[in-house]
Structure 1
Amino acid sequence: MASNNILKASEIFEGQVHLYKHLYAHAVDCMSIKWMVELGIPDIIHNHCQPISLPKLVSILQIPPSKVRGVKSLLRYLAHNGFLQIVRVHHSTEENEAFSLTPASHLLVKGTDFCLAPMVEYITNPTLSHTWSHLKKWTYEDDLTLFDVSLGSNMWDLLSKKPEFNDSFNEAMASDSQMMNLALRGCNWVFEGVESIVDVGGGTGNTAKAICDAFPNVKCTVFDRPQVVEKLSGTKNLTYVGGDMFESIPRADAVLLKWILHDWNDEDCKRILENCKKAISGKGESGKVIVIENVINEGQDEQGLTGLKLALDVKMTSLLNGKERREEEWKKLIVEAGFQNYKISPFTGCLSLIQIYP
């Protein structure tokens, strides 16, 4: 009986609000974003070239009158969460409410250079969302992932067995690569002295293509699972190679690991990094491994960014037996893989660039 008696009524009500906020947001947050993408609302507002009123949006979408109140409710919730902005527009003598895009929803406009709509479609895929209801069972199943527990297959086997899920995954990773490519434009210093680079797990090659465009003299190799690269065609300075990073990695001046190591536990990452070290052996001062990953830093990051990194850590741990890492964990991993030095630099809003030297 005890614990509630030491809490004030105000604290109990505050706790209730906090609990309900997270319970209700669990489904509503991501599914309202999915709803917005599926209806093409960011595209409609973008093509409208100005803030759009609710009646105009309802007319374009041909919404039944009985659902207009629900649509307004979703739009206002999305605006509260920063995915739309509510503005006041004047028409004749009337002032009306209208909706405009924010930086976050600009990233959901299809056909643009930096569109993350494929990431939304992948993350909200029923195959993924279904797995989270099995967290309790996962907790007691030694060494099994949420995919193993809920679907009887790990993620990599699942990608091989389900072509449509594999396509969605590759499209999501390709869309995220555009964000990284934007950041790489300001990182010319990373490629100084590099004449060849291998993008391990580079997917369809979006990042490698960006590197080739920015540095025409650099020879790029995209190294990924055979089923990912077998139908892809290279160019003068871009080639695709299929293989297994746990066996060996093609030789180059530099190896790029972009959002790869968080998929794996420390032992697996050590094997990958050891193969990277072999791939750059004999390259002298130009040889290095370039890692693009999260670095958890509760002491310096603002609360929202830390929350994102910790949420990603939960996701990687439960879905893949991987992890997001703090700097001390990165240092331990790097040293155990046989490297002598590393340097961490800011990269995107949440990702860091880690240069590792033999």
Structure 2
Amino acid sequence: RILLKKEPLNLRGIVLTMADPVQLKAWESLSDWYQNEDDSSTAFEMAHGKNFWDYSSEHMEHAEFFNEAMASDSQLISKLLIGEYKFLFEGLASLVDIGGGTGTIAKAIAKNFPQLKCTVFDLPHVVANLESKENVEFVAGDMFEKIPSANAIFLKWILHDWNDEDCVKILKSCKKAIPAKGG
């Protein structure tokens, strides 16, 4: 039942993404990638000639699979966050969910904390057709450039995609986005 789309908490998107030939080709390139001297690329780049994010922006079907996977994962995580870690959101006025996709986690947080303004910050092709409602706003941008200001930043499945240098850049952008007083 956990694989059925009609189930409120399901893993269908994750399974479809992992079984997608695009992803499988990257897995099949893992051995070659590991033996490669070039640390700058990934197995996905070796398989497809471009990084995952560029590929996704050019192949909307792939992006939709990935967004569904992240949304199904986020349903499970948001249930845990709201149930067990509610205290993390109490007293906050604003939160930015970096790479928040279709806003599954931000919507769950906003529903349980109506005073909290949630911003879903993601790439333009991800948020282009998503409509902001009440206390959830969708903003397009680049986390390496500038992140919208907020009291708290939420990162789920972000830093593992980047090398150490890029992670430091992302975290510095996060630090700039949080006010010195009130963050």
Q: Same fold (TM over 0.5)?
A: yes
Secondary structure of 2:134's aligned partner: coil
Partner in structure 1 of residue 80 of structure 2 = 183
Q: Which residue of the partner structure matches residue 162 of structure 2?
A: 264
Q: Counterpart of 1:115?
A: 10
Q: Give the match for residue 199 of structure 1.
A: 97
Q: Which residue of structure 2 lines up, in the alignment, with residue 158 of structure 1? A: 55
Q: 2:29 aligns to what SS in structure 1?
A: helix
Which one has a bigger Cα radius of gyration?
A: 1
> 2: distance between equivalents of 1:175 and 1:283?
35
Which residue in the other structure is 1:223 paired with?
A: 121
CA–CA distance in 1 between the matches of 2:28 and 2:126? 30
**1:115, distance to aligned residue in structure 2 (A):** 0.8
Partner AA of 2:36 in structure 1: Y
In 2 relative to 1, CA 162–127 (structure 1 residues): closer, same or farther, beyond 3 Å? same
Matches within 5 A, 1:313-332: none
How far is 1:189 from its partner?
Answer: 0.7
Cα deviation, residue 267, structure 1? 1.1
TM score, norm. by length of structure 1? 0.49
Q: Give the letter aligned to residue 140 of structure 1.
A: N
Please state if 1:249 is matched with 2:144: no
Q: CA deviation digits over 1:258-289, x for unaligned, max 9? A: 111111111111111111111112333xx1xx
Deviation at 1:141, TM superposition (A): 4.3
**Alpha-carbon distance between aligned partners in 2 of 1:283 and 1:210, rounded to the nearest angstrom:** 26
Instruction: Find the residue that maps to 1:185 and give its secondary structure.
Output: helix
Q: Larger strand proportion, structure 1 or 2?
A: 1
Q: Which amino acid aligns with 2:54?
A: D
Query: Aligned match of 1:140 in 36, 40, 47?
Result: 36
**Distance in 2 separating the partners of 1:249 and 1:170:** 21
CA distance in 2, matches of 1:144, 1:235: 38
Q: Residue 61 of structure 1 aligns with which residue?
A: none
Counterpart of 1:127?
22
Q: Equivalents in 1 of 2:66, 2:80: separation in Å?
A: 22
Q: 5 Å matches for 1:8-19?
A: none
Aligned pair partner of 2:65 in 158, 168, 192: 168
For residue 153 of structure 2, give the secondary structure of its aligned residue in structure 1: strand
**In structure 2, the residue corresponding to 1:173 is in which secondary structure?**
helix
Segments of structure 1 that go 5 or more residues without pairing to the other structure are 1-105, 288-358
Once the two structures are TM-superposed, the CA of residue 113 in structure 1 deviates from its matched residue by 1.2
2:70 maps to amino acid: M
Relative to structure 1, is the Cα distance of residues 141 and 254 closer, same or farther in structure 2, using a 3 angstrom cutoff? same
> TM-score normalized by structure 2?
0.94
Unaligned segments of structure 2, at least 5 residues: none
The AA in structure 1 aligned to 2:181 is K
- State the alpha-carbon separation in 2 of the partners of residues 165 and 178 from structure 1: 20
Q: Does 1:149 align with 2:17?
A: no
* Identical-pair percentage: 51
Shift of residue 134 of structure 1?
A: 2.3
Provide the secondary structure at the position in 2 that maps to 1:255.
Answer: strand
Higher RCO (Cα < 8 Å, 6 or more apart): 2
Q: Work out whether residues 29 and 44 of structure 2, in 8 Å CA contact, stay in contact via their aligned partners in 1.
A: no
**Structure 1: which amino acid aligns with 2:61?**
E
Which residue number in structure 1 is paired with residue 138 of structure 2? 240
SS of the counterpart of 2:119?
strand
